[in-house]
Amino acid sequence: MKGPIVITGAGGFLGRSLAEVLGRKFLIRPTDLLPGESLDAEFCGNVSDPDFAMRLLDGAEALVLSHMYPRGPGAYDHPSRPFDVNVTAVANLLDAAVRQGCRRVVIISSIAVVYGHLPSGARLDHATVPAPVDLYGLTKSIQETLAEYYHRCHGLSIAMLRPAYVTDESTMTDKYGRVKATVNWQYIDRRDIAAATAAALLLPDLGLETFFITGHSDGHKRLDLSPAIQRLGWNPEHTFSAYPNDPS
């Protein structure tokens, strides 16, 4: 890829790892709401603004959507702000990608799209129908619906990655600074998400494809990981094997 890859939410917990890993292989254009370390003020702003989205995608070759409305206390009690950030902004960016000739997109979606199926214990795969149980999962489900539309109607090549609990195996912290002592099948290291993103960006015949990804060795019992393994050539480097599982 010769043109820059736009990475939204690049100042966040996951976004920083995306920028670090992708920056080793590609020319990147990281963006977030406010400039900061390694974030050029010229390309920072509100992606809910269509004009900014158009400027951000100018000359871009690919788009990685990793921004999200933070899940703090009460943040998802009302749909207004979550929908503005998680839905409207994604629609703006996909529209700008079409208009600016950017043909390849990776959406960092979430297992929250299908959380309603977890109590059944069923093994989830790409054909599992969406069943969000909260506003966060609903916004992620709508992101995937937008992806289907822009692929079908405008020909964008889009990979949708569905990680679960994003953390950092080295420190066992999550995006909110919480430190964990035990793990479960949903754990995935942020660097492994970045590695899957890089593989999706390079997949030559990418259509519209969904990939469950998890790092824990028990993840395959609950999720069909074969598309990520076979299509992306992806396997997690961080498996959390040094940590005990959560109490039953």
Domain 5-232 -> CATH class: alpha beta
Angstrom distance (rounded) from CA 65 to CA 21: 15
Beta-strand (E) ranges in the chain? 5-7, 28-30, 62-65, 104-108, 157-162, 165-168, 173-174, 187-189, 208-212
Angstrom distance (rounded) from CA 15 to CA 80: 23
- What burial class does residue 213 get, using C-beta atoms within 10 Å of its C-beta: 0-12 exposed, 13-18 middle, 19+ buried? buried
Lowest mean pLDDT: which of 34-43, 64-73, 158-167, 210-219? Answer: 34-43
Is residue 112 a contact partner of residue 136, using CB atoms and an 8 Å limit?
yes
Q: Tens digit of pLDDT for each residue in 94-141?
A: 999 999 999 999 999 999 999 999 999 999 999 999 999 999 999 999
Angstrom distance (rounded) from CA 210 to CA 228: 9
What pLDDT was estimated at residue 42? 87
Q: pTM (2 decimals)?
A: 0.96
Q: Which residues sit opposite 78 in a β-bridge?
A: none
Res. 28 pLDDT band, cuts 50 70 90: very high
Q: Above 80 in pLDDT, residue 248? A: no
Pairing of strands 104-108, 5-7: unpaired
Neighbours of 122 (CB within 10 A): 11
Angstrom distance (rounded) from CA 224 to CA 208: 17
